[in-house]
Each structure stands twice: as C-alpha cells, then as structure tokens.
Amino acid sequence: MSQPIPMTNVDLDQLRAFVSEGFEALGLTAEDAGIFANALIFSELRFHPGQGQGVARLRRYHERIGNGEVNPRADWSVVKEGPALALVDAHNGIGTVAASKAMALAVKKAKEGGIGTVIVRNSTHYGSSAVHACQALDQGCIGIAFTNAGPEMAPWGGREGVTGTNPWSIAAPSDQGFPTVLDIAITTAGKGMMNWLIREGKKMPLDWAITPEGDETDDPAAALKGPLLGIGGHKGYGLAFMTEALTGVLSGGGFGLKPYSDPNKLDVSHYFQAIDISWFMDPEDYASRMGEFVQMAKSRALRPSFDEILVPGEQEARRTQAKSAGGVPIDNVVLADMQALGKELGLKTPLDGLGPYTGATL
C-alpha cells in the first residue's frame, strides 16, 4: 500500500543560512559556500525532493570532501581563451561553484560580442542545470547549460550504462511573471525518484530503466540495479551521446565510462552558453514576444482529463512561490540527518521545523 513520505516545513532564510554555514565548515570560502547554498536552495524550491538536487547534498559533500573525492579549495583556471570561447579547468573542485564562475564568464563574453561559450573539464557534480542557465537571465541573456555524468544510461539496444543522465537547461525570459526554463535529464527519470517511489510503496513506469539482464520492469528496487533509459528511446540515447561529444570529448576531459570511475578525479565536464538578447532586439521586445508565444501554447484546446496547459518553467515557478511563502518542505529523514550533521560540524545556525507539511503535491 502506498503512503506519503512525512515532511516538515522549514523557514527559508534559516535553511539558507544553515547550508551556507555548513559548507564553510566543510572548507569552502564564504563566497563559494554562499554560491553553493543558493544553488541548492534554488533546486530545493523548484524541484520534487525525490530528484535529489536540493539541500540533502550537504551530507553527500561532507562525505566527498572528507574522503578526498572533491577539493573544496580547488583552483579555477582558464586554459585557453578567445573573444567568444573559453576552456576552463576546475581542478576537481566543487562543480556547482566552477559552473557559476564559468557561466559568469560566458555572460561577460556575450555582452562583449553577442555570444559566449565556456566549456569546463576536470570538474565534479554541478547540481541542477537550471541553476546555471538561469544565472544568465539577470544579465539580459538566454542561458544554456548541460553536463555529462556517470555512466547510468544504457545505449539503445544495450543493457549496460555508457552515458550519464546528462541534463540540459535552456532559460529564456518572458513577460509572464516567470522565465521559461527547460530543465530535463536525458534519461526518462533518475535513481533518486526510484528511491522515492520505493519509500512510497509505488511502482514506476516501464520506460524508466531496465534490469541488469535487460528486461523491462515496473519495480524500482529491481531497476536500481540496472541502467536507466533515455527519453524517447533511441532519441534520448542520441542526445546523451552527443552531449558527451560537446562536453567530455571536446574539453579533453572524461567521457562515457570515465566520469566517476576514479574517486580521486571525478572527471566531469560541463558546457555553458550565454546569448545576449540585445544583440538581436530590445530585451523588453523579446520578453513580450515570448509572452505572446506562452499564451499561444496555453490557449490551445485541452486533451481529455487535462485541466490546463503549462509551459517550461511554469510549474517550477509555482513551486518556488508556494515554498517561499509557507516554508520549505523537507523530508523528515533528510531533516533529521541535517540536524545531526549540524551538531557534528558545530554549526551555530539552528534548523527548526515550522510544523508538518500538509500540502497535496510536491
């Protein structure tokens, strides 16, 4: 029998301060700790907690930094640079921080020449792609971000992993009160959501993953032992494959089976691009045109059983607004672990619950 996972609302400002202080305690500079904390809060607000890109990452990074997988004080260096391009080495540092600095450089180049592209090698897990794509919005740019990852996706027709979830995000402004933001893994789902369904006692769709023997399954526990499947079958595999071509292969970094194969060098590569809207038109005109496009999509006739049409980023904008106003719902297991970690690290910021989460959806 399925059952909801108990959750507790936590004050947003307190949560942000706790996570930032936690990363400082793990060895990050105050600036880098703030970048990382803001990124995790962004993801916690926008996404379903089962996707695993939120504040629960604090514990994972405590482990990664403690065992030497990630260097919290790594250098960030430009290997090669041109007017519109740059190649960066992250030196096995915090991927989210390296990504933030790389997108800032891409935006700088875009404001100077219309477009900027920065590729990063020798990095680590960078979290949600939307964090980095949306970073470009504040500077009047369209943002594009994607990354390779560990080999969890099977090639079409295969039963062993060879590419990662390789998530993409494209962020573009609109005048509708929220930016339009695509944020997708190239796999149909991730293993975080499978673990969530196991805890809820639910089955999963047959197109999420296969068993190690290559069989379809709706059992998330069985699927955890096998590889993930790409969105759209062979099309998702093709997108993930070419993401490797634009990240790990082109950067001179790890690709395919190499990312995460060596615990001392996670070898992840990222791609960032910023496009200056003002090179093409007045940014307000662009936002208005995007708003018109949004309304074109939302005004189409509905299919049976659908209540409305959403555009990319709309559902996430609603989640962010709701969670920011009423407290951020945190899985009780995660909250207890974070409170325990706070004591281990001697953090001064408390992490108190505001009360049980009683919402219907996440």
CB < 8 Å & 24+ apart, contacts of 150-153: 150/259, 150/260, 151/256, 151/257, 151/259, 151/260, 152/187, 152/190, 152/191, 152/227, 152/228, 153/186, 153/187, 153/227, 153/228, 153/229, 153/230, 153/236, 153/237, 153/240
Residue 348 has pLDDT above 60, yes or no: yes
More confident residue, 165 or 4: 165
361 pLDDT tier (thresholds 50, 70, 90): low
Cβ atoms 172, 160 nearer than 8 A: no
325 pLDDT tier (thresholds 50, 70, 90): confident
Cβ atoms 332, 7 nearer than 8 A: yes
Residue 343 has pLDDT above 60, yes or no: yes
Residue 350 has pLDDT above 60, yes or no: yes
How far from chain centre, in Å, is Cα 66? 23
- Strand residue runs (E) in 103-197: 115-123, 141-147, 168-172, 180-184
Tens of pLDDT, residue by residue over 48-61, are 888 878 999 999 99
The region that residue 233 occupies, defined by phi over 0 for left and psi between -120 and 50 for alpha, beta otherwise, is: left
SS3 331: strand
* Per-position b or e across 128-155, b if 16+ CB within 10 A of its CB: bbbbbbbbbbebbbbbbbbbbbbbbbbb
What are the angstrom distances between the C-alpha of 211 and each of 149, 191, 220?
20, 13, 10
Whole-angstrom Cα distance, residue 152 to residue 210?
11
2 pLDDT tier (thresholds 50, 70, 90): low
Tens of pLDDT, residue by residue over 146-164, are 999 999 999 999 999 999 9
Q: What's the pLDDT at 323?
A: 87
Interval 265-271 mean pLDDT: 97
Whole-angstrom Cα distance, residue 191 to residue 181?
23
Q: Considering the chain, what is the average pLDDT of its residues?
A: 95
User: Which residues make Cβ contacts (< 8 Å) with residue 227, sequence separation at least 6?
Assistant: 152, 153, 154, 158, 159, 160, 161, 209, 210
- Longest CA pairwise span in the chain (Å): 59
24, 18, 16, 70: which is closest to 43 by C-alpha? 16
Cβ atoms 67, 98 nearer than 8 A: no
Tell whether pTM > 0.85: yes
Interval 95-101 mean pLDDT: 98
151, 169, 140: which is closest to 259 by C-alpha? 151
All domains in the chain, ordered by first residue: 1-67+327-362 (1.10.1530.10), 75-188+228-316 (3.30.1370.60)
Q: What's the pLDDT at 326?
A: 78
How is the chain split among helix, strand and coil, in percent rounded to 5?
A: 40, 20, 40
CA angle, residues 343, 348, 350, in degrees to nearest 5: 75
Residue 360 has pLDDT above 80, yes or no: no
Give the rounded percent of residues in the chain with a pLDDT score beyond 90.
90
Cβ atoms 362, 329 nearer than 8 A: yes
**Residue type present at position 230:** G
More confident residue, 354 or 82: 82
